[in-house]
Amino acid sequence: MKLFLDTANIEEIKAANALGVISGVTTNPSLIAKEGRVFEQVVREITSIVDGPISAEATSSEASSIVVEAKELAGIHPNIVVKIPLTAEGLKAIAELAKKGIKTNATLVFSANQALLAALAGASFVSPFVGRLDDAGHDGMEIVSDIMDIYGTYDFPTQVIAASIRHPMHVVMAAKAGADIATIPYQVLKQMIAHPLTDVGIKKFMDDWAKVPKK
Ligand code: E4P
């Protein structure tokens, strides 16, 4: 399973990229708004840091306008993937963009049926929102497993991004469910690195090393 970083914060992206474990970045309008910067500038900067798929979200609601917006976003850099909310208009836009060779990420996906439709329309990626489903009292990761089963049965090439990841166990569960990618906040990445026994182990090794006679 690959990891994408779910943020529009340049410092976080630089720090995560330096670890060599990040293959792409996902953003959304809320994450962009948090940075207080011009959308296109942020996206352009992200493409200069991470060499992989960078999701930038279209904000129009009609298919024709989504397609216009998507073409503009795709023109920023070849690695741009246009994030499109899973609506009827979104599906129309995804289908048209697939014919034009523009990559899309069907977002705000909360059911296996929505993911099936995204694949049929030709989405490059689909993003089931695990944490938001958990918040609503569902088992968010079950949807990821269902989507993996369905896509596997029919050999759909659409890649599944486990999104709305809230904690390290979500990442383990996404990997066990066979998700192609988990997109994670920087905080979760930091939590994945840390283990108290690693700290205890380093301290013990260093304390013992100090007792070794040096020439
Ligand atoms: C996915 O691409 C979204 O940007 C993101 O995972 C949403 O997460 P949230 O539910 O924590 O806002």
Residue range 21-49: mean pLDDT, rounded: 98
Does ligand 1 come within 6 angstroms of the Cβ of 29? Answer: no
Pocket test for ligand 1, best of 129, 135, 165 (most atoms within 8 A of CB): 129
pLDDT at position 215 is: 85
Atom of ligand 1 nearest to the CA of 131: 10
CA of 7 to the centre of ligand 1 (A): 9
**Average pLDDT of the residues in 147-159:** 98
Apex 162 CA angle, 172 and 81, nearest 5:
140
**Closest-lying ligand 1 atom to the alpha carbon of residue 28:** 4
Residues 171-198: tens digit of each pLDDT: 999 999 999 999 999 999 999 999 999 9
- Over residues 89-108, the mean pLDDT reads 98
pLDDT at residue 205, as a whole number:
98
7 lines ligand 1 (CB under 6 A): no
131 pocket-lining for ligand 1 (C-beta < 6 Å): yes
**Which pTM was predicted?**
0.96
On the question of pLDDT at 200 being above 90, the answer is yes
Rounded to the nearest whole angstrom, what is the distance from the C-alpha of residue 46 to the centroid of ligand 1? Answer: 17
The per-residue pLDDT for 4 is 98
Residue 151 CB less than 6 A away from ligand 1: no
Does residue 114 have a pLDDT over 90? yes
Report how far ligand 1's centroid is from the alpha carbon of 209 (Å).
Answer: 45
Q: Is 163 in the pocket of ligand 1 (CB under 6 A)?
A: yes
Res 208 pLDDT > 90 = yes
User: Taking a C-beta distance cutoff of 8 angstroms, is the pair 128, 148 a contact?
Assistant: no
Q: Determine which residue's CA is closest to atom 8 belonging to ligand 1.
A: 164
pLDDT tens digits along 36-64 = 999 999 999 999 999 999 999 999 999 99
Give the HSE-up count for residue 114: Cα atoms under 13 Å, Cβ half-sphere.
Answer: 21
Residue of the CA atom closest to atom 1 of ligand 1: 163
Compute CA distances 58 → 27, 69, 80, 93, whole Å: 11, 6, 12, 10
